[in-house]
A and B are shown apart, each in its own frame.
Chain A
Amino acid sequence: MTEPFVHPYIPNTAPESKAAMLAAVGAASVDEFYADVPAELRLGRALDLPAPFTAEQDLVRHVEGLLAKNVSTRQRLSFLGAGTYNHYVPAVVDEVIGRSEFLTAYAGEPYEDHGRFQALFQYQSLMAELLAMDVVNVPTYDGYQATATALSMAGRMSGRRRILVASDVLPAKLSKVRDFVRVHLDLEFVETIDGVADVAGLVSRLGDDVAAVWVETPSHTGAVEAQLRQIADAAHAAGAVLVVGTDPIGYGVLTPPAEQGADIVCGDIQSLGLHQWFGGAHGGFIAVHDDPKFIMEMPSRLFGLATTDVPGEYGFGDVAYDRTSFAHREEGKEWVGTAAALWGIAAGVYLALMGPQGMRDLGEVLLARTRYAQQRLAAIPGIALGDTAVHLREFTIDLSGAGVTAAGLVEALRAEGIEPGVPVGEHRLLVCITEMTSQADIDRLAEAIAGLDTGSALLDRRDADHQTSVSIPTLEEQSA
């Protein structure tokens, strides 16, 4: 450390500058500036913090040393999903969001931050094409918040309290949504059948006090909802809206929910060009039709096109700013603040790179590898698929026939350098497949699980009297 204390991040720690500035304002010391802080509230000692690494090279050694204790999914074979997904991140995405101009800007105006406005307008527009909707927000925090807000919008629009939850929802997401909406809304669960919505059950629960039906597709277990149109029609007949929580990753091949009657589509954009980052890179989208009744309930910023004094020049600005808490504090819609704009720019770059064919190819790879993994794992004696729905990226396997718990399987495979998935029940394991999981990776997982057959973990299985495998129906059969 230098003596006197001069720090590279703080130019005016230079003694000459500090002295000159104190003299300029006529202060003997910086203490004068704290005249309003009562003596009894002064800390009066140095903070008790670890000794710093003021030289950059020492800091690097320290932090890299800590991070070297991590063993990443590049060193482990990972089948983990449950909200954070291991998709490929093109180099151009990292290059763009690493640019100082974007990385270090904040809330500039449409003139000096034209680039930010255009990049985020384009994000909104690219997402809109993928989702076949006309309006997408500047990202909110994450898919949890997007869903909580989407349901709250439905409640505010209708003045109704009931929300029918038609799908299996990721428990952490449900936790957030429940605590966020509970003052205004009541969540009611309609149990799923074979992984997807029980439409008849839903219809029997619908009434003129239902604000929204909430569908997740793919669901917590990766099941794609095939009856969205019927659900939408039933909800609309009761004057309710259909809120669909989803991951945009599949819409190169799957019909977007808006085309099947969804009114609000929401979810997370981490899959679109963002690293896993230990679950630390999430952004939430909310998409609606170009209907002011919906738009005026959105809390987030919306960037729109504008003309300028120069013909042919695109300008931008905030659409319907009066909705926001910036404009009207508690009279605004929920609130708006720093959220996830940079991740929105990343997702936009990702979609621009992928293009229609890339998103189609990716969707096919995800569907195909997911199904391949289902086939391979279900062929192992004692293991069954959790349901027969169409799955994208994630699915569950039922281990009860194998006499092993999900936690036991995870423990056994971790010893082999494999993260086989996330336990979602005593005998249920949620397995995630992405384009990063090759056929060889899936084969290795299947062989490792099958190999446990002769080991201790699956020992009990031999005593069990059970069906040793299920045949996988084709997708056509599943939809019948």
Chain B
Amino acid sequence: MSLPVAPKPALRRFHQASWDEPIIFELSTPGERGVLVTGLEAGVRDAVGDVVGDLPAGLRRAVPPALPEMGQMRVLKHYLRLSQENLGADFNVDIGQGTCTMKYAPKVNDQLVGTPALTAMHPLQDPADAQGVLEIVWNTERMIAEISGMDEVSLHTQGGSAAIWSNIAMIRAYHEANGEGEQRREVITTIFSHPSNAAAAKAAGYDVITLYPDADGYPDLDALKRALSPRTAAIMVTNPEDTGIYNPAIKEWVDAAHGVGALASYDQANANGILGITRARDAGFDVCHFNLHKTFGTPHGCGGPGAGANGVSAALAPFLPGPRVVREGGADGSASSARFVVREPGEQSIGAVAPFFGVVPNIVRAYAWMMALGADGLRAVAEIAVLNNNYLLKKVLEIPGASAPYATGRRRIEQVRYSWQELFEETGVTSEEIGVRASDFGMHYWTSHHPYVVPQPFTLEPTESYSMAELDEYAAVLAEIAREAREDAETVRTAPHRQTVHHTHHDDLDDPERWAITWRAYQRKYFGIPADSTEAAA
């Protein structure tokens, strides 16, 4: 053949890297070293003697831990190969992980937080030496206060569910401070709110009441009113819910909760489509939280660290976690005269929900993300995320077998929970199988759509980060898999075909006799190799 190169086919001929990499323990070679530890000075050794030898027998480890022994480049190579077997958001059209708000995490922000001026800061240093990071924390709080309309913000938590815990912990403390801790034993949530709202409320000691939507998919105000009572501590809801449907009666929900003395807590995990459009406090919410790793562009890190931001009204502010960053001076409006100090939590605070100030590298990233966008940019984030979603909705509904239950014919906000039920009935191919097959095209499509109320669900959230061409590509992949389901179902069922590993058997993972949660347990259970006792023979 000769030039020119033939045109590309309609769909990408993807193949994931497949290094067939051993488990790291299998790479161990006795005597190799990955990194050396600084030597002990002669002066120290002379002064203290043989500290390990002098340890009491019960404290001295007899057999070293069976960690692998590997030269440095071998460790590097092993992990870089594993990294190539991972489809990060920087590689794929990562819109198949609905509810997760997979957006671009700007590279410049990673550079900014990698400086020793941040990595080498200890949280208990003299605040005079930490003015830069404290100012960023304080400013980030103020910006999120403006975005939410709330009076005060805390950035202490490490993820969205941790922030939900802070919400309910503050609510609990508030009712206790008002002498209603014993009386208010119930929390009301909705089935399309994140499961951690229910789970964290339960962990905080509450009975959980879960409401289902009306026939059209909207949260059911009448059902709420029937559930509310003087026993209600709070409603904990998401809006828009994971269906992408915005509850137009949200203010009535909040008012109804307040009517029985309950508080209203807003899970803003789905805030990406409403930044600068509508705010939690304006609907009357008492507490809310955002996920900085979703809405504010920090990377998701394979499942964390993320970061949570809790906003509260003035009435709830005394219950915020600590320590707090406080600005002093600068009252003349001159930022240069302001000083940032650290204040320990007060009497009513729920205390330290996490170490120190929270996930500082992600707070700095979120700050930089907001400062790169400004008010116009945040509004564009919301509007384009919503435009992308409604564009994708149209493309997906053109695929035979796909549907979008609820709110028929109406616009959605930033995501849609779709259904392959029609395709399943026609071909027997499940949403989960479609998800696995999507990975053959270099696309991520996840299978977690808790709760499984929508049959054969899939949830797409295109965010603002993807171009029209990328949305077209994703829809074309779904259309191709739907075609395969009809014409060549076996190819879908036996997927993956172009992935790192092949069809995996998950039967052993639920059986205590057979599961292997570590290499050590695997060796013991399947090869009868006992772990060395490390206790000194006394």
Q: How far is the CA of A475 from the CA of B279 in the complex (A)?
A: 61
Q: Are A66 and B66 in contact (CB under 8 A)?
A: no
Indicate if the CB atoms of A96 and B34 lie closer than 8 Å: no
Tally chain B residues at the interface, Cβ within 8 Å: 227
Residue of A21, A27, A251, A313 touching B65 (CB-CB under 8 A): A251
CB contact between B503 and one of A64, A309, A327, A474 (< 8 Å): that residue: A309
Choose one: A9, A43, A115, A295; the contact of B277 (CB below 8 Å): A43
Q: Please indicate the chain B residues that have their CB under 8 angstroms from the CB of A387 in the complex.
A: none
* Cα distance, A246 to B393, chains bound together (Å): 50
Does the CB pair B502–A309 fall under 8 Å?
yes
Given the known interface contacts A21-B468, A30-B387, A479-B59, the answer about A134 and B87 at a Cβ–Cβ threshold of 8 Å is no
Nearest chain-B residue to A410 (Cβ)? Answer: B126
Is A320 touching B509 in the complex (CB atoms < 8 A)?
yes
Contact between A338 and B306, CB atoms less than 8 A apart = yes
Interface bits A38-76 vs B (CB < 8 Å: 1, else 0): 101111001111111110100110111011111111101
Which listed residue, A275, A316, A335, touches B200 by the CB 8 Å rule? A335
- Tell which of A160-168, A197-205, A253-261 binds the partner: A253-261
CB <8 Å contact, A422 and B124: yes
Question: Which of A136, A253, A336 is in CB contact (< 8 Å) with B61?
Answer: A253
Known pairs A329-B450, A368-B48; A145 contacts B112 (CB<8 A): no
A317 and B112 CA atoms in complex are apart in Å by: 35
Q: Which residue from chain A places its CB closest to the CB of B470 in the assembled complex? A: A11
Task: Report whether B59 and A329 are in contact in the complex, using a CB–CB cutoff of 8 Å.
Answer: no
Report which of B118, B124, B370, B506 forms a contact with A80, defined as CB distance below 8 A.
B124
Q: Choose among B33, B196, B302, B525 the residue that contacts A105 (Cβ–Cβ < 8 A).
A: B302
Give a binary string over B130-145; 1 marks a CB under 8 Å from any A CB, 0 the rest.
1111011001000100
Shortest CB distance B409–A (Å): 11
Asked if A308 and B120 sit within 8 Å, CB to CB, the answer is: no
B5 at the interface (CB under 8 A from A): no
5 contacts between A and B (CB under 8 A): A98-B114, A99-B80, A105-B302, A119-B302, A390-B59
In the complex, which residues of chain B have a beta carbon less than 8 angstroms from the beta carbon of A186? none
A179 interface hit (Cβ, 8 Å):
yes
Does A113 lie within 8 Å of B87, measured CB to CB? yes
Contact across chains for A34 and B300 when beta carbons are under 8 A apart: no
Q: Given that A107-B446, A306-B506, A338-B159 are known contacts, is A96 also in contact with B80, CB under 8 Å in the complex?
A: yes
**How far, in whole Å, are A176 and B388 apart by their CA atoms in the complex?**
41
With A7-B377, A129-B520 already in contact, the answer to whether A109 and B386 are too (CB < 8 A) is no
A80 touches B518 (CB 8 A): no
Q: Which of A236-244, A346-354, A393-401, A457-465 contacts B (4 or more CB under 8 A)?
A: A346-354
The docked-state distance in angstroms from the alpha carbon of A306 to that of B514 is 10
**B68 at interface (Cβ–Cβ under 8 A)?**
yes
For residue A17, CB closer than 8 A to chain B, the reply is: yes
Pairwise interchain contact A103-B383, C-beta atoms closer than 8 A? no
Bound CA–CA A94/B133 (angstroms): 21
Flag whether B58 is at the interface (Cβ < 8 A): yes
Are the CB atoms of B132 and A338 closer together than 8 Å? Answer: no
Stretch at the interface among B49-57, B226-234, B421-429, B482-490: B49-57
B55–A105 touching, CB < 8 Å: no
**B347 close to chain A: CB less than 8 A:** no
Asked whether B304 lies within 8 Å of A338 as measured between CB atoms, the reply is yes
- Decide: A128 and B519 in contact? CB cutoff 8 A: yes
A104-139 near B? 1/0 per residue, CB < 8 Å: 111111111111101111101110111010111011
CA distance A1 to B301 in the complex (A): 31
Residues of A within 8 A of B413 (CB): 33-34, 36
Per the bound structure, the CA–CA distance linking A435 and B111 in Å amounts to 27
In the complex, which residue of chain A has the Cβ closest to the Cβ of B383?
A30
- Interchain CB contact under 8 A, B133 and A106: no
Q: Which of B302, B351, B360, B535 has the most CB of A within 10 A?
A: B302
Contact between chains at B303 and A109 (CB < 8 Å): no
Comparing B35-43, B309-317, B326-334, the segment that makes contact with chain A is: B35-43
B24–A106 contact, CB under 8 A? no
- How many angstroms from the CA of A132 to the CA of B79 in the assembled complex? 24
B147 and A435: CB pair below 8 A?
no
Q: Are A103 and B301 touching (Cβ within 8 A)? A: yes
Q: Is the CB of A340 within 8 A of B304?
A: yes
Checking A330, A351, A422 against B201 with a beta-carbon cut-off of 8 angstroms, the contacting residue is A330
Partner of B108, one of A59, A278, A422: A59
Q: State which residues 521-538 of B face A: CB under 8 Å.
A: 521-522, 524-525, 531, 533-536
Partner of A352, one of B67, B301, B388: B67
Across the interface, do B509 and A304 meet the contact criterion of CB distance under 8 Å?
yes
Which listed residue (A84, A304, A331, A367) contacts B517, Cβ 8 A? A304
Question: Which 3 pairs from chain A and chain B are nearest by CB?
Answer: A52-B374, A337-B161, A280-B360
A308: which of B367, B410, B502, B524 is its contact (CB, 8 Å)?
B502
Q: Are B48 and A70 in contact (CB under 8 A)?
A: no
With a 10 A CB-CB cut-off, give which of A307, A362, A438 has the most chain B CB atoms.
A307
Cβ–Cβ contact A475 & B54, under 8 A: yes
B160 adjacent to chain A (CB < 8 Å) = yes
Within the assembled complex, what's the spacing in Å between the Cα atoms of A422 and B174? 32
B518 contacts across to A, CB distance below 8 A: 121, 124-125, 128, 134-136
A313 near B20 with CB under 8 A, answer: yes
Mark A384-410 against chain B: 1 for CB-CB distance below 8 A, else 0: 000000100000000000000000000
A285 within 8 A of B: no
Distance from A237 Cβ to chain B, minimum over Cβ atoms (Å): 19
Q: B431 on the interface (CB 8 Å rule)?
A: no
| Interface: A444 (CB within 8 A) | no
* Minimal beta-carbon separation of B214 from chain A (angstroms): 14
In angstroms, Cα B132 to Cα A64, docked, is 9
Query: Is A183 interfacial (CB-CB < 8 Å)?
Result: yes
Query: A12 contacts B387, CB within 8 Å?
Result: yes
Task: Give every chain A residue within 8 A of B158 (Cβ-Cβ).
Answer: 141-142, 282, 338-340
